[in-house]
Chain A
Amino acid sequence: MSLTAFLQVPELEARYKKVKKFFFLRESAYDVTSACQLRCEGCYYFAGERSNVRDNNDPERWRHFLEEEKQRGINYVNLAGAEPALRPKVLRACHETIALGTVFTNGLKSIDPDIKYRIQVSVWGDHTGDPKYRKYASGKEGPYCLPLQLQNYAHDDRVIFVYTFNSENVGQVDEVLKHVDDNGHKITFNVFSAPEGNRSALKLKDTLAATREKMLEAMEKYPDTVIYSLYNAEVHTQEVSLRGQFGCPYPRAAREGRKPFGISKTFRNYRADLSYEAESCCVPDTDCADCRHYAAGSAIVTSRLDVHTESEMLFRGWLDYVDTYLAIWILGYEKGKNLYTRPFSAV
């Protein structure tokens, strides 16, 4: 079987045509500031040396910088570390320069409603876990973020919540799902992926299968609220990391001798001072052997169309994955029904 044969199947052809319209996306990632109210366990920003830079808070400098990024072909910005919502003028300059993007935020401060970026709000657990895993910068136990997030972003369709599963919080998602659903929001899933050298107890080892089961349960119980697919659940809960399953297209993988192609040639991860390293990755400092991160998967899995044409079922999985990725990243994109049905292989 082959791609052209799969495209003879009407539902596969229709889905492929739908996602193909977005193949033009060319992303890079930008730390907006080194400031954040919280210190979350395993936070990529504070794990390495990235916080040791001087912020560039000048909106005009950002505007000029992103004009240069546009010249480089970048048409989608990922505005991350440490807490972008703390720099509203920079966010505005970004939005006025490159219209497509996502802001990754803890949701404790609302972002101006006319900044029409996707807003991905992170959730780490229920009322017991969230304050434990996300401490204040002072070291004190943090707030339960979810009620504040729901209040700040009530009826805001830019928002999607992102629940990060770790080794302790599988059952805690029930409370979060109920609140998100009650408030008419959407939610998707991430899997804790430790930074290099991190020995966090939150790393998933024995809980991968339980995490997957909980993901499936959530999808079944809240089909209109949970933006996810069976194939996402499968690939993100394997013993083997995403890189182990699919290789990695990020520039950082060049250290393994992979020839640059696609995102390898264009992706950069900028620090808050607008410098970047040649070996960029979407979640820098991640231990590649432990990488099950949803943002990493958005490039790692989607870029491997070639390995997903070995069977029709794998191609269905790829279509679901790309459809899910677009629903998470593109404001207004509507996810279709999942096409992948293969029973799960053992983790």
Chain B
Amino acid sequence: MDAHMVWDLLWMSLNGGNYDIEALKTHVRDDSNFVEEMGIDSLDLVEFYLRLEEHFNVQLDADDYAGLTSVQAITTFLQEKSRA
């Protein structure tokens, strides 16, 4: 699973919101927490999860959102989904 694609979808989702995306890009890691470390708002995250669903052709339940807290968590989740 390519983390770069997940990052690209995230940046796309933050575009137009209240973020300095270039500044975020300079210090984030795959395990950076979306809310606590990156300050991402929940509706922007919902947009991101919708984009993930569409791009990776997976179904996310609203209860999945609480666990999808970083790019690393998402790539792991997607890998498990693809194995299932």
Residues of A within 8 A of B (CB): 2-4, 17, 20-21, 23-24, 26, 247, 258-263, 265, 302-303, 305-306, 309
Contacts and interface: CB of A to CB of B under 8 A. Distances in A.
A306 B17 contact: no
Given A21-B18, A305-B43, A261 B50 contact: no
Contacts of A3: 47, 50-51, 54
A21 B43 CA distance: 11
Interface in B7-65: 16-18, 35, 41-47, 49-51, 53-54, 62-63, 65
Q: How large is the interface on B (under 10, 10 to 19, 20 to 34, 35 or more residues)?
A: 20 to 34
B62 A247 contact: yes
A23 B41 contact: yes
B54 A23 contact: no
A303 B62 CA distance: 11
B84 interface: no
Query: Nearest 8 pairs between A and B by C-beta?
Result: A262-B42, A259-B66, A23-B43, A24-B18, A23-B41, A3-B50, A305-B46, A261-B65
A2 B50 contact: yes
A23 B50 contact: no
22 contacts: A2-B54, A3-B54, A4-B51, A20-B44, A23-B17, A23-B42, A23-B43, A23-B44, A247-B62, A259-B63, A259-B66, A259-B67, A261-B62, A261-B65, A261-B66, A262-B41, A262-B46, A303-B43, A306-B49, A306-B50, A306-B62, A309-B50
Nearest to B39: A73
A24 B46 contact: no
Nearest to A307: B62
A309 B50 CA distance: 9
Nearest to A322: B43
A260 B50 contact: no
Nearest to A302: B43
B66 A260 contact: yes
